[in-house]
Structure 1
Amino acid sequence: MSKKRILIVEDEESLLKLESILLTSKGYDVTGVTNGQAALDSLAENPSDLVLLDIMLPQIDGFEVCRRIKENPQTQHIPVIMLTAKKSREDMARGEKVGADWYITKPFKSVMVIETIQRFLAK
């Protein structure tokens, strides 16, 4: 069985590194990018099995990235998990509106992120 590919979109370098190490240690093939446009470019070139997406990003925010992923017939099947410090009801509702499959707020527990990822990749 081939490794599941996860795209992490996180503009904070230290968090991107931490998330990458965590997921790589669990056997995932991880690609990390630091902005919304790079995320869309990465998915166009090399589709992932799941996207871990921050909201507050340079250029294109995570809401718009998610909307574009879910509108594109080539990528709309990819689960998108929002991983963000934005935790208001309005933010969560907006995440749902643009098609996010799940919403995790920072600070997060690593085990919760892993369990959520495993649940979506087992489908």
Structure 2
Amino acid sequence: MLIVKTRRILLIENKNAIREVTQLCLETGEGWEVMTAASRQEAIAKTKTQKVDVILVDLDTFASDRDLSTILHQLENNPVTQNIPVILLTTTVSSQELEQFTKLGVRTVIAKPFDLMTLASQVSAVLGWNR
């Protein structure tokens, strides 16, 4: 008997409509369990009480690169969360920013606007998850 593990995603997005639509697409498309957070504080609190397989972060949720660096350092310095892959969702990113994000532990960047119907397959491909 094949046991299929349900993936648990944490989506950090401060815009309600985008957060809800993205959550719905990931849940219906792949059957993933998607938890959401609208802020860095809410996200960190959830990672302390819930096991998460990947964190999707909308870069626009953070007021500055410093805020993003703060959450990445918090995740990196916590033994429970340090191995959770982080994927950024953003409208624009320069090669210099991409290099900086990679040094901070970001697995990849997915450009916005992304196709909601293929977002789950993009995440799966980056993480090597079998579909």
TM-score range, shorter chain: 0.7 to 0.9
CA displacement at 1:46 relative to structure 2: 0.6
Question: CA 1:61 to 1:54, structure 2 compared with 1: closer, same or farther past 3 Å?
Answer: farther
Partners of 1:7 and 1:50 within 8 A in 2: yes
Identity of aligned residues (%): 24
CA displacement at 1:19 relative to structure 2: 0.7
Q: TM-score, normalised by structure 1?
A: 0.86
Which residue of 72, 93, 100 maps to 1:66? 72
1:48 matched to which residue of 2? 52
Task: Name stretches of at least 5 consecutive residues in structure 2 with no aligned partner.
Answer: none
Q: For 1:117 and 1:105, how far apart are their aligned partners in 2?
A: 12
When Rg is computed on C-alpha atoms for both structures, the one with the higher figure is 2
3-state SS of 1:21 partner: helix
2:36 matched to which residue of 1? 32
Q: TM-score, normalised by structure 2?
A: 0.82
3-state SS of 2:11 partner: strand
Structure 1 consecutive aligned stretches of length 4 or more whose deviation exceeds 4 Å? none
CA displacement at 1:43 relative to structure 2: 0.4
1:13 aligns with 2:20: no
1:122 matched to which residue of 2? 129
Q: For 2:86 and 2:49, how far apart are their aligned partners in 1?
A: 17
